[in-house]
A and B are shown apart, each in its own frame.
Chain A
C-alpha cells in the first residue's frame, strides 16, 4: 500500500482522536500529526512546489484541525477531511500567488515548465521517464493523479477532497493521464495511448 492507513492499529482510531481533540487533548493532536503529517506535506508540496510555504500550510492545516475539531461530524474520514483542508489551502495560496504575479506584471513567470520537456529524458529508464512526466503535470492533474495513485482514494473520496462531482473526477483523471502521455511524447517518449 502506498500510504499508511488512517488507522494503523497501534492506538486510537482517527475518529477517536478527533473526539479527544474536541476536549483539548494535545497528545491526540500529536498522534494525529504523526499519522498524517508526511502524507499531507507531500500532497501540499506537489501542489504548490515551495518547501517553506508547504511547511506553513501543513502547520495551518493541523492548527485548523485543532481549532475546528468540534465541527468535524465524521461524515467523511479524517484522512479525507484533512486532505480537503490541505487542498483548499494550497489552491488558495496558488490563486493569491498568481494574482500577485499578474499584478506585478510577472505573467511570464507562470509559464508552465511542462512546456519545456527535457529531451535528455529519452536516455532514462521507463520509471525515470514516468517520474519526470508526473512531476511536470499541472497542479490540477497532479492532484487527481496523486490522490488516486499515491493516496489510494476512491472516486467519491477524491470528489470530496476536490469538491467536484464524481464524474468530474473520472474525466479529470482521464485528462491527467492523457496529459502525462503528451508530456512524455513531447519529450520523445511514446508509450502509446491509452
Chain B
C-alpha cells in the first residue's frame, strides 16, 4: 500500500501546513509528496495554504511587543524574593491582592495559592455581608490575613482604583490610610476595603478624609462605619 492510500483527501489537505513547516511525521510527509506528484490540484491547494501561512506570519509580526517588559519582570522576580506586591498594568489588581493576602505562601504552587485565596475570599465575603447588613453587633468585625495577622475593621467601603495609577501609589495610600483590601475586584473593577485599627495612625475620620482626597488614586463609592 502506498503512503497516499492511508490518508483521505481531507487529511492530506490538513497536513499541508505541517508539510510546509517541516513539523510532520515521515509517513505523512511521504503521503503529501506522493499526492503532490499525482494530483494537479494539490499544488494549487498547497499554494493557498502557503499564502495563508504567509498572512499569519505577517499578522503576527505586525504586533509589536512593548520594550519595558523585561525590567518589569525582573522587578517582579525580585519582589517574589522579598514578598512585596507585584506590578500590575491592567485593570485588575487581583494579582497584588493575592500577594497581599498570601505573601507567606509565595513558595506554594500557584494552583494551591489561588485555591486558598478563593477559600479566603469566601470567608471574607461572608464577613463583608455581615458588615454591610449591619448585623455584626457592637464588636467591630475582625479580619485575619493568611499570615495570621489579625485586623479590626473600623469602617469599610467600596472603591475603584484609577486605571492609570501605579501600584506603588496604591500601596502607599493604603499604608498611609491604614486600609486593607478585603475583597475584589468585582466585574466592574470595584474592591471592598477596610480601615483597620492600628497604633500610630491618625483618627479614623482623618484617614477617611485623606483617602477620599486622593481621587487621583482611588474613588470611594460607599463608606460604612466611622464618622
Contact = CB atoms under 8 A, between A and B. Distances in A.
B60 interface: yes
Nearest to A170: B14
Contacts of A60: 95
A30 B66 CA distance: 16
Interface residues of B, number: 48
Contacts of A38: 65
Nearest to A41: B65
A191 B89 CA distance: 42
B123 interface: no
Contact of A46 (B52, B53, B63, B69): B63
Interface residues of A, number: 58
B10 A56 contact: no
Interface class of chain B by DSSP: helix
Interface in B59-74: 59-63, 65-66, 69-70, 72-74
B45 A194 contact: yes
B68 to A, nearest CB: 9
Contacts of A63: 73, 76-77, 80, 86
A133 B54 CA distance: 13
A104 B89 CA distance: 23
A56 B89 contact: yes
Interface in A63-106: 63-64, 66-68, 71, 99-101, 103-104
Given A64-B110, A152-B22, 7 more contacts: A41-B66, A56-B88, A56-B95, A59-B76, A100-B187, A130-B51, A174-B14
